[in-house]
Chains A and B, each alone.
Chain A
């Protein structure tokens, strides 16, 4: 087994000395939809307990890339991964044919673009991941559900109506419920696929706050089409264009002093 790699990275002078651990690394990752090569030779390091944002114009492959991390492409026929996405500390290749996608999804959670709670009670929504993992003790499940709802900053709003349908909540609450559902199983990485694109500005702000709070607890990868959002919530940002990774850097560096012309054009609004 390879030793756990570390990189020296500095977000701000305050934590310049901090050694950051690599949680996951894409190595020469390409992805094919039938004959279409949607991702081209991506290399990127995802740091543990940090927020990494993927930005880029529509169709650049950012969501496609995100969905490689939990093998969500597998049910679609005619898709193929090439290269590797290593998950540390155990150096597991997430996209390897020999690795079961179910196993990958047990370790990596996801929050989708549109809130998609199950038409079950709020409690059962959050408990589902635990039940799939075979947790039988009701006391344990209740405890974990409450913990997840608290972490997703929605406990106070729903504690008195855990039996109500998840669909009875507002859009922003539904999305936080979905975050709680993903958090309940303690994922190592949490993937966000444009989590606020269906929400109003106030709900969006709450989700962003929540992501900022989660930073210390879980590794986050977030796809967003909103550059301000990437700048607000992320530590690192990757700019993608036409299936390629153009630039990857500290968020502050990428937004203030991009090294690539294409990145600069995009963040200054010349296209996208």
Chain B
């Protein structure tokens, strides 16, 4: 009698558990479906671009200046321009963004002023990029007289991604446990020593990841560059940043005019000749490839640093 009661209640528990686990399974399936459809769209887009641009996806295309003849046009000045702009953007937004994040996270007193700054930094990440373009047109192009230069473009995109860099850096800094800071303080370290010897080195992975995510946002930006006057037909390269003789580096390229990948694409897409559409697709595939490559680097960097440090 007793045995059967126990058996009955056991059966009841099992029925109950399997009923509740159905919901669990349903969520897994729905989640997978949604994820795969998102990925599928990206893959189809990429394949479509590659397929359409296939006739032009070759070394000549990468190595040629733009031309009025679609079959001779290339993206040399565009990708060089994009690379130099990214270099400037990284060079400006990294130190400024990381320093701002360190100040906000480690130094700033927690009061209403910092609360307002924090909220606004987050809000800035959502400002449409054309607004940054207009600001830069007034400030960098006219006020600072930078004109249609790589420097102006780099500074504009730096502004655009600064909020992303600051937010990502703060997250990375915050991930360093309090116990580690306390250990360093207890040994007599100053606030700067705690930051420079411990907090920053341990959060490098997160900071670099945020930086690269920011740059991959910047690399595709078109609107602000059009606003500040990027050219779409450039048949020369800016002066190389590397020199054969001392001091080996040159910054003359900062003042030169430029074009960039998305600008070049936009220009080709808006032409009536269908041959240029092929060029646009090929350039699109290469731009998308550059972005995916940067994200890949971000993932690798994060993986490398996580492996060394796990709390």
- Tell me the chain B residues, 168-216 only, with Cβ under 8 Å from chain A: 177, 179-180, 182-190, 193, 197-198, 202
A199 to chain B, nearest CB (A): 15
Q: Which residue of B lies closest to A104 (CB)?
A: B188
Number of interface residues, chain B, beta carbon within 8 A: 22
Q: Taking chain B's interface residues, is the majority helix, strand, or loop, or is none over half, making it mixed?
A: helix
Does B308 reach chain A (CB closer than 8 Å)? yes
Least CB distance from B225 to A in Å reads 41
Also in contact, A167 and B188, with CB within 8 A (given A77-B109, A118-B198): no
Residues of B within 8 A of A269 (CB): none
CA distance A128 to B187 in the complex (A): 8
Question: Contacts of B310 on A, CB cut-off 8 Å?
Answer: 167
Q: Is B30 located at the chain interface by the 8 A CB criterion?
A: no
Residue pair B186, A128 in contact (C-beta under 8 Å): no
Cβ of B187 and Cβ of A181 under 8 Å apart? yes
- Residues of chain B with a CB closer than 8 A to A105's CB: 185-188
Nearest-neighbour CB distance to chain A for B210, whole angstroms, equals 20
Please name the residue on chain B nearest to A78 by beta carbon. Answer: B110
B309 at the interface (CB under 8 A from A): yes
Interface residue from B109, B177, B186 paired with A109 (Cβ < 8 Å): B186
Encode contact with A along B275-311: 1 for CB under 8 Å, 0 otherwise: 0000000000000000000000000000000001111
CB pair B187–A185 under 8 Å, yes or no, is yes
Question: How does the 8 Å CB contact mask read for B58-79 relative to A, with 1 for contact and 0 for none?
Answer: 0000000000000000000000
Question: Of the candidates A110, A117, A119, A133, which one forms a contact with B202 in the assembled complex, judged by CB atoms under 8 Å apart?
Answer: A119
B184 touches A185 (CB 8 A): no
Report which of B109, B110, B193, B308 forms a contact with A119, defined as CB distance below 8 A: B308
Interface residues on A, range: 20 to 34
Distance in angstroms between the alpha carbons of A167 and B180 in the assembled complex:
12
Judged by a CB distance under 8 angstroms, whether A129 is at the interface is yes
Q: A234 CA to B193 CA in the complex, in Å? A: 35
- Asked whether, in the complex, the Cβ of B186 is within 8 Å of the Cβ of A118, the reply is no
Residues of A within 8 A of B188 (CB): 102-103, 105-106, 129, 132-133, 185
Q: B193 contacts which chain A residues (CB < 8 A)?
A: 132
Instruction: Report if A182 contacts B (CB, 8 A).
Output: yes
Which B-chain residue is minimally distant from A124 (CB atoms)?
Answer: B197
CA distance A212 to B216 in the complex (A): 58
Contact A70 B186 (CB under 8 A): yes
Complex Cα spacing A112 to B308, Å: 23
- Is A98 among interface residues, defined by CB-CB distance under 8 A? no
* CB of B228 to closest CB in A, whole Å: 43
Instruction: With both chains docked as a complex, state the minimum distance between the C-beta of A187 and any C-beta of chain B, in angstroms.
Output: 9
B187 touches A114 (CB 8 A): no
Q: A102-B188, A128-B197, A129-B187 are in contact. Are A112 and B179 (CB under 8 A)?
A: yes
Min C-beta distance of B24 to chain A, whole Å: 33
User: When chains A and B are docked, how far (Å) is the Cα of A117 from the Cα of B190?
Assistant: 18
Contact A116 B180 (CB under 8 A): yes
A70 to B187, CA, bound (A): 10
Q: A112-B179, A118-B198 are in contact. Are A77 and B184 (CB under 8 A)?
A: no
Shortest Cβ distance from A247 into chain B, in angstroms?
29
**CB–CB B186/A72 < 8 A:** yes
Residues of A within 8 A of B198 (CB): 118
Within 8 A of B (CB), among A18-77: 70, 72, 75, 77
B192 to chain A minimum Cβ distance, whole angstroms, is: 11
Asked if A240 is an interface residue, CB under 8 A from chain B, the answer is no
* Distance A32 CA – B193 CA, assembled complex (angstroms): 28
| B109, B179, B187, B309 — most chain A CB neighbours (10 Å) | B187
Contacts A116-B180, A116-B182, A119-B311 supplied; 7 other A-B pairs, CB < 8 Å: A102-B188, A105-B185, A114-B179, A118-B180, A128-B197, A165-B308, A182-B187
A-B contacts, 9 of them at CB < 8 A, read A112-B183, A116-B179, A119-B180, A119-B309, A129-B188, A132-B189, A167-B310, A178-B183, A182-B187
The 5 closest A-B pairs by CB, nearest first: A116-B179, A106-B188, A110-B186, A129-B187, A105-B188
- Residue numbers of A with Cβ under 8 A of B are 70, 72, 75, 77, 102-103, 105-106, 109-110, 112, 114, 116-119, 128-129, 132-133, 165, 167, 178, 181-182, 185
